[in-house]
Chain A
Amino acid sequence: MEFQKQKPIYLQIADRLMEQILNGEPAAEERMPSVRDVAASMGVNPNTVMRTFDFLQGEEIIYNRRGVGYYVTTDAKKKILAEQRREFIEVELPLIRKKMQLLGIDCEDIIGKNQKPNPNICQ
């Protein structure tokens, strides 16, 4: 499964920054690293990182304090997790299900016979 390869760079950078926010670096209401520092540390064009920041701002994960920099919103973690859940269920899960059918694996093989399977996965 290769979802990642296709994704534009600015979204891959967004994924990485969201991962860091989930780990509390930076935490809610703390300051984000600057566009310049992110670009330099990854060796990418600052315009690309600017797009990443615009995207994260649109998702209300960060916000801009004019002239000061970008900060993590209070609800950032909640928003990231909700989005990742949605992506898992809508994008990744169907692929997993397809692959399971192809390989003849059913839910019991994965979860074990004594546990009740999660209906979301095995419908």
Chain B
Amino acid sequence: MIEIKNLSFSYKKMPVFTNIDLTFDGKVDSNDEQRGHIYGLLGENGVGKTTLLKLICGLLRPKEGCCSVDGFTSQERLPEMLQHIVFLPDEVKIPDGATPQQFVDELLPFYPEFAQGTFLHLMQELEVEPDRKFKEMSFGQQKKSLIAASLSLGTDYVLFDEPTNGLDIPSKAQFRSILSKRADERSTIIISTHQVKDVENLIDPIVILSNNAVMLDASVQRITEKLYFEYGGEKRDDALYSEMQPGGYLNVLSNATGEESQINIEALFNAVLKNKSVFKEMFK
């Protein structure tokens, strides 16, 4: 479990988080087996999504409060903790002359659960060659190699910052498929992204950051219990948010009947930003 308690952080005088609490955890299924979750971490530009991921894996230190992974304080960067967590930033400085295989070979001593078979399998599924030099690859192929590497290290926690950036259309579907398998094993995955369409039916629970705080932290089921997404109707005055779509208005309404609807994450995001206090009350 990743536990963030009373955490505050600022860059120089600019506050990013003020006293936030947040946990990321897997779950136990009906056969008593530990399963992972795929968290979606959303927020506007500059709201601190990347900062949060860096705090979790100990690359940044909180000004106040604490962040821990399975009981180990992140900022102490103990090997016992670091071997269970991997963070793939949006941009990675990769050694040009190296190949993906050499890249994972370098990481291998730090990750005892690394599985070469998984790595090769993922590389194959993403259609990248493990022995081709990074400098001979496109940006998307490099990214796919790094995704395959991250997911084969055998960590319980995988942090992705904008993982679908640079992926072509078929690769995005492959990415979803791979992740969905992985989370069903045991890893808890956190995806920070602006490309919500790429991960629309994949992320659950959803965490939205805004104004130095956590605006929403709820499972899709809980969200659709509280909110009703009405598609193709008229514009409604009582809507928390509505937008015009080709087939009519999409209204985000407070769910009065308990009937469930299909979530639309972009609309949810806009609704949250527009009605911060309402949502705080609704999802207390």
Task: Contact check, A47 vs B224: say whether CB atoms are below 8 A apart.
Answer: no
Name the one of A39, A50, A64 contacting B181, with C-beta atoms under 8 angstroms.
A39
Q: Which of A6-14, A95-103, A110-118 contacts B (4 or more CB under 8 A)?
A: A6-14
Of the candidates B173, B262, B263, the one whose C-beta lies within 8 Å of that of A43 is B173
Q: A8, B202: Cβ atoms under 8 Å? A: no
- A120 interface hit (Cβ, 8 Å): no
B181 x A36 contact (CB < 8 A)? yes
Please pick, from B37, B204, B229, B232, the residue contacting A2 in the complex, using a CB distance under 8 A. Answer: B232
Inter-chain CA distance A9–B231, complex, in Å, is 14
Closest to A50 in B: B29
Q: How far is the CB of A121 from chain B (nearest CB, A)?
A: 25
Asked if A93 lies at the interface with its beta carbon under 8 angstroms from chain B, I say: no
A5 within 8 A of B: yes
- In the complex, per-residue mask of A36-55: 1 if CB is within 8 Å of any chain B CB, else 0: 10011111111110110000
Answer whether residue B184 sits at the interface, using C-beta atoms and an 8 A cutoff.
yes
Contact A46 B260, CB 8 Å, known A5-B231, A9-B201? no
Query: Is B214 on the interface with A (CB-CB < 8 A)?
Result: no
A47 to B27, CA, bound (A): 10
For residue B180, CB closer than 8 A to chain A, the reply is: yes
Chain B residues with Cβ below 8 Å from A64 are 30
Residue numbers in B under 8 Å from A9 (CB-CB): 201, 262-263
Chain B 12-40 per-residue mask, 1 if CB under 8 angstroms from chain A, else 0: 00000000000000010111000101100
Check A67–B202 contact: CB distance below 8 A: no
Question: Does B177 reach chain A (CB closer than 8 Å)?
Answer: yes
Distance from A81 Cβ to chain B, minimum over Cβ atoms (Å) = 24
- A5, A47, A48, A67: the one contacting B232 at CB < 8 Å is A5
Alpha-carbon gap, A7 to B27, bound state (A): 26
Within residues 30 to 80 of chain B, which ones have a CB less than 8 A from any CB in chain A? 30-31, 35, 37-38
Contact A6 B231 (CB under 8 A): yes
Chain B residues contacting A51 (CB-CB under 8 Å) are 221
Do A45 and B177 touch across chains, with their CB atoms under 8 A apart? no
Q: Does B230 contact A (CB under 8 A)?
A: yes
CB-CB < 8 A to B173: which residues of A?
43
Q: For A107, what are the chain B residues with a Cβ–Cβ distance below 8 Å?
A: none
**Residue of B at shortest CB range from A43?**
B176
In the complex, the answer to whether B261 meets A44 with C-beta atoms within 8 Å is: no
**Roughly how many angstroms separate A104 CA and B221 CA in the complex, as a whole number?**
42
Chain A neighbourhood of B229, CB < 8 A: 6
User: What's the nearest-Cβ distance from chain B to residue A64, in Å?
Assistant: 8
B97 at the interface (CB under 8 A from A): no
7 A-B contact pairs sorted by A residue (CB < 8 Å): A5-B247, A6-B230, A39-B180, A40-B177, A40-B178, A41-B177, A43-B180
Chain B residues close to A by CB (< 8 Å): 27, 29-31, 35, 37-38, 173, 176-178, 180-181, 183-184, 201-204, 219-221, 224, 229-232, 247, 260-263
**Top 3 closest A-B pairs, CB basis?**
A43-B176, A46-B184, A44-B201
List A residues at the B interface (Cβ < 8 Å): 2, 5-9, 11-12, 35-36, 39-48, 50-51, 64, 66-67
Assuming A8-B224, A45-B180, A46-B35, what are 4 further A-B pairs, CB within 8 angstroms? Answer: A7-B262, A9-B263, A36-B180, A40-B181
